[in-house]
Each structure stands twice: as C-alpha cells, then as structure tokens.
Amino acid sequence: MISFIVALLGAVVLVGIVHMIKREPIRTA
C-alpha cells in the first residue's frame, strides 16, 4: 500500500515537472 502511494505521488510530481518544462518555452516564445 505504501509503495503504491509513493509511486502515485512520484508519477504526479513527474507529470507536473514535465508539464512545467513544456509550458515554459511556450510562455517565453
């Protein structure tokens, strides 16, 4: 159960970071 929660949080954080990285160049451009 704990490993599942950790994996879920890790996936959410990863998606958030990728979203921020992909959105930054669009804002600067």
pTM beyond 0.75: no
- pLDDT value of residue 1: 85
Q: What residues does each domain of the chain span? A: 1-29
pLDDT, tens digit, for every residue of 1-29? 899 999 999 999 999 998 888 877 666 65
Which residue carries 């804002």 as its tokens? 27
- pLDDT value of residue 9: 97
CA pair distance 7, 10, nearest whole angstrom: 5
Following DSSP, what letter does each residue of 1-13 receive, concatenated? -HHHHHHHHHHHH
- pLDDT value of residue 28: 61
- Give the CA dihedral 12, 17, 18, 19, nearest 10 degrees: 90
CA pair distance 11, 29, nearest whole angstrom: 28
- pLDDT value of residue 4: 95
- pLDDT value of residue 5: 96
Residue in 14, 2, 3 with CA at minimum distance from that of residue 22: 14
